[in-house]
Amino acid sequence: MPTIKINVEKCKGCNFCVDACPLKLIKISNKLNKKGFNYVLMDSDKCTGCGLCFQMCPDLAIEVYK
């Protein structure tokens, strides 16, 4: 099943991946990483592995598994 893995310590909470996901599966959380940024989470089995979130992330915080 396709999915993504988010490295929350690399995430800066820029929301680019939130906007990029066509299915709106990525959500900004109310939790902070060690740098003080609200990081994003994806907790869905509907991910298609399209990779758009990965392509938009400027901080290489997302890995895609097909």
Q: Which residues bind ligand SF4 (CB under 6 A)?
A: 4, 6, 11-17, 20-21, 23, 25-26, 40, 42, 47-53, 56-57, 59, 61-62, 64
Cβ contact 34:4 at 8 Å: no
Q: How far is the CB of 36 from ligand SF4 (least distance, A)?
A: 13
SS3 sequence, 17-52? HHHHCCCCCEEEEEEECCCCCEEEEECCCCCCCCCH
Q: How far is the CB of 34 from ligand SF4 (least distance, A)?
A: 14
Q: How far is the CB of 4 from ligand SF4 (least distance, A)?
A: 5
